[in-house]
């Protein structure tokens, strides 16, 4: 199949284009500045911007499937308000959908985010929710995937955790986190997610479905933080940072150009956990997915097998 991956040069896109290429698809990775870093030779790079319809028409013209991975990161980008998120996520998706429909594609696959909700609490979540609405309303076969936070090589998640400490407690072994880091995530490994996205491209049973996807463990930000620092042989004590103080700190940092702002502050109060894990729709078993501590090298894949033998 001819598959155009908008945002194919980003973190998930690089892994996904590699998987699609391995499966024998003809893959085009589309972005504003495609540089090819980390992509197999078989993947064709094309320049396109979802805010510029004309730039999308030629790359999408002969596609069978379009996948939308274009995003403003919820973690590291400055707080651009509703307008910036709406421009990239909702209007960008609508423009890409329109071009895809005109090209007569068979399917549009949208990589959304867990909790996407037009009435949600952050600019990112609201814009992702509006984009999902646009995909459902479009006259094209679609699949919407809503993962929790994604970890893996090239991703921002582990780095983000460390950056938070640089903000709140540089150089000391305590780590003040908003609310004590009680909010929970269900991190999924990119190596587990990507085959599901690739299946969504071809398997007919996924048409018109929206899937919530999470990893095998629900972890609080406090637990995640401890694991990240443990994996580097460091020990930190997580202590609660009063929300008011965190809000002021993040807002000030955002306003002076540090890549974090009030949207990130709000994200730090929210759980990001599936209501029901849909990984089974892709033949995966939740408990078989890669745990975050295993990715960090703190446990090995053999631990479970050893326990089973011991039992």
Ligand X SMILES: NC(=O)c1ccc[n+]([C@@H]2O[C@H](COP(=O)([O-])OP(=O)(O)OC[C@H]3O[C@@H](n4cnc5c(N)ncnc54)[C@H](OP(=O)(O)O)[C@@H]3O)[C@@H](O)[C@H]2O)c1
Q: How far is the CB of 175 from ligand X (least distance, A)?
A: 21
Region from 42-50, 219-227, 252-260, 275-283 binding ligand X, contact rule CB under 6 A: 42-50
Q: Would you count residue 88 as binding ligand X (CB under 6 A)?
A: yes
Q: Would you count residue 229 as binding ligand X (CB under 6 A)?
A: no
Nearer to ligand X, 7 or 291 (CB): 7
Q: Would you count residue 220 as binding ligand X (CB under 6 A)?
A: no
Among 33, 54, 235, 287, binds ligand X (CB under 6 A): 33
How distant is the alpha carbon of residue 245 from its chain centre? Answer: 28
Q: Would you count residue 176 as binding ligand X (CB under 6 A)?
A: no
Q: Would you count residue 113 as binding ligand X (CB under 6 A)?
A: yes
- Helices 157-168 and 221-230, axial angle in degrees (round to 10): 100
Nearer to ligand X, 88 or 164 (CB): 88
Q: How far is the CB of 228 from ligand X (least distance, A)?
A: 15
Q: Would you count residue 134 as binding ligand X (CB under 6 A)?
A: no
Q: Would you count residue 54 as binding ligand X (CB under 6 A)?
A: no
Total residue length of the chain: 311
Total of residues contacting ligand X (CB under 6 A): 27
Binding mask 1-30 for ligand X (x = CB under 6 A): -----xx-xxxxx-----------------
Contact 53, 95 (CB under 8 A): yes
Nearer to ligand X, 70 or 289 (CB): 70
| Contacts of ligand X in 260-289 (CB under 6 A) | none
Judged by the rule CB under 6 A, the positions of this chain that interact with ligand X are: 6-7, 9-13, 31-33, 48-51, 69-71, 73, 88, 92, 111, 113, 147, 149-150, 155, 157
């Amino acid at each position: 199949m001819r598959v155009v991956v908008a945002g194919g040069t980003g973190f998930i896109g690089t892994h996904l284009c590699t998987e699609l290429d391995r499966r024998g698809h003809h893959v085009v990775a589309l972005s504003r500045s495609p540089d090819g870093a980390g992509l197999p030779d078989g993947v064709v790079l094309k320049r396109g911007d979802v805010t510029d319809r004309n730039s999308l028409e030629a790359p999408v013209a002969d596609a069978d499937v379009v996948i939308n991975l274009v995003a403003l990161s919820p973690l590291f980008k400055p707080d651009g308000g509703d307008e910036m998120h709406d421009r990239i996520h909702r209007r960008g998706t609508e423009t890409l959908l329109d071009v895809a429909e005109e090209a007569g594609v068979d399917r549009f696959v949208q990589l959304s985010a867990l909790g996407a909700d037009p009435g949600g609490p952050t600019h990112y979540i609201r814009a992702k929710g509006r984009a999902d609405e646009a995909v459902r309303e479009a006259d094209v076969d679609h699949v919407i995937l809503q993962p929790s936070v994604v970890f893996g090589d090239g991703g921002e998640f582990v780095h983000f955790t460390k950056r938070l400490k640089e903000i709140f407690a540089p150089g000391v072994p305590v780590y003040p986190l908003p609310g004590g880091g009680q909010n929970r995530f269900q991190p999924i490994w990119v190596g587990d997610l990507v085959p599901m996205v690739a299946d969504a491209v071809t398997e007919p049973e996924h048409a018109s479905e929206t899937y919530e996807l999470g990893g095998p463990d629900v972890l609080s930000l406090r637990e995640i933080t401890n694991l990240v620092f443990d994996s580097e042989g460091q020990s930190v004590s997580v202590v609660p940072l009063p929300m008011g103080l965190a809000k002021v700190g993040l807002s000030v940092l955002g306003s002076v150009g540090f890549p974090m702002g009030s949207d990130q502050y709000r994200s730090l109060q929210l759980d990001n956990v599936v209501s029901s894990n849909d990984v089974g729709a892709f033949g995966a078993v939740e408990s078989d997915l890669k745990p975050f501590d295993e990715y960090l090298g703190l446990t090995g894949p053999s631990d479970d097998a050893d326990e089973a033998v011991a039992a």
